[in-house]
Amino acid sequence: MQNKRKLAKTISKIENEHSDYETILKNAWKKNIGSAYRIGITGPPGAGKSTLVNQLALQLSEQNLKIAIVSVDPSSPFSGGAILGDRIRMRELALKPNIFIRSLATRGSLGGLSIKTQDICDVIDSFGYDIILIETVGIGQIELDIVDASDITVVVLVPESGDDIQSMKSGLMEIGDIFVINKADRDGANSLAINVSSMLQLKQQFKKIKNYNIPVIKTIATKNENIDLLLEQVLKYKTILKNNNNWYLARKKRVENKINELIFSRVIDNFWTNERKILLQDNLNKNNISKNTPHRIFEKLLNIK
């Protein structure tokens, strides 16, 4: 429990961009992280992502694993946006010594979300967690950011209001390594599953791994139905990743992203000297703004010593 409290505090520091941010990460990386399996779960609001994550965490916790749940969803019960029953279930989950739950605010720059989520996962990893379940609401950039931060992406769809067509448009089809048709107790689950399967067959280019057939699994999260099947596929995918070198490639990409981000922030910080700030404002004042193109001002800024 003490450990969980310490982890929670550390994550808050990253979220709030505390001055210790980079020190925390330096220390985390020193612990040779990279063993936690990062599972992204995404899909439209109300699809049952939180319920699924809840069930997955429960099953995994029985396997004597340390599980972390990170929710990047403003409407998630983890962040208090749900009906009472769901909140109570979450609280029960959080009481288990080997389950850590955390919701992240989506405020701030969207572009920064993938790095921040990644950094937070790195810290969780350094605390010895085996599995990190990352729930994100499927709204464009956020879910794409999370793809970067995870090893596997599970896309959750439901048989409601033309979800299949919607997901084609929003790019969900491209990012899924496993598809879940949740609320299989509802009409239309079968036809949605068939539609998704045939779309996946047509779009072979979505496959990141050769000879891997993307599974489409029907679940009823509220009744814990087929969650074991989903879990089996999720765990199988980890073996596939490792056998195909993709485990390493995903890590390589994350390290690269992090280095690029460090370069970017460091270069920006060094660039904006007082002289340059003054020069910029001077060039942008009412009298001067039409005199120069942005490119010319950029050149001037570069050339100032």
Ligand X SMILES: Nc1nc2c(ncn2[C@@H]2O[C@H](COP(=O)(O)OP(=O)(O)O)[C@@H](O)[C@H]2O)c(=O)[nH]1
Binding interface with ligand X (CB under 6 A): 45-51, 75-77, 82, 86, 182-183, 185, 220-222
- For residues 24 and 189, which CB has a smaller minimum distance to ligand X in the complex? 189
Choose one: 67-75, 199-207, 214-222, 252-260; the region binding Mg ion (CB under 5 A). Answer: 67-75
Find the shortest distance in angstroms from Cβ 253 to Mg ion. 27
What contacts 25, CB < 8 A, 6 or more positions away?
14, 119, 122, 123
Find the shortest distance in angstroms from Cβ 228 to Mg ion. 21
The span from the CA of 135 to the CA of 137, in Å, is: 7
- For residues 83 and 302, which CB has a smaller minimum distance to Mg ion in the complex? 83
Phi, psi at 196, each rounded to 5°: -65, -45
- For residues 10 and 79, which CB has a smaller minimum distance to Mg ion in the complex? 79
Q: 138 is in the binding site of which of Mg ion, ligand X, none (Cβ under 5 to 8 A by kind)?
A: none
Find the shortest distance in angstroms from Cβ 220 to ligand X. 4
Residue 76 touches Mg ion, criterion: CB under 5 A: yes
Choose one: 75-83, 172-180, 241-249, 284-292; the region binding Mg ion (CB under 5 A). Answer: 75-83
Q: 47 is in the binding site of which of Mg ion, ligand X, none (Cβ under 5 to 8 A by kind)?
A: ligand X
Residue 143 touches Mg ion, criterion: CB under 5 A: no
Say if CB 6 and CB 104 are below 8 A apart: no
Find the shortest distance in angstroms from Cβ 87 to ligand X. 10
Letters for 16-55 (x = contact with Mg ion by CB under 5 A, - = none) are ---------------------------------xx-----
| Closest to 254 measured CA to CA, from 44, 75, 92, 36 | 36
Q: 220 is in the binding site of which of ligand X, Mg ion, none (Cβ under 5 to 8 A by kind)?
A: ligand X
3-state secondary structure 268-298: HHHHCCHHHHHHHHHHHCCCCCCCCCHHHHH
Q: Which residue number places its CB atom closest to ligand X?
A: 48
Q: 301 is in the binding site of which of ligand X, Mg ion, none (Cβ under 5 to 8 A by kind)?
A: none
- For residues 55 and 126, which CB has a smaller minimum distance to ligand X in the complex? 55
Find the shortest distance in angstroms from Cβ 55 to ligand X. 9
Find the shortest distance in angstroms from Cβ 73 to Mg ion. 5
Residue ranges binding Mg ion (CB under 5 A) = 49-50, 73, 76
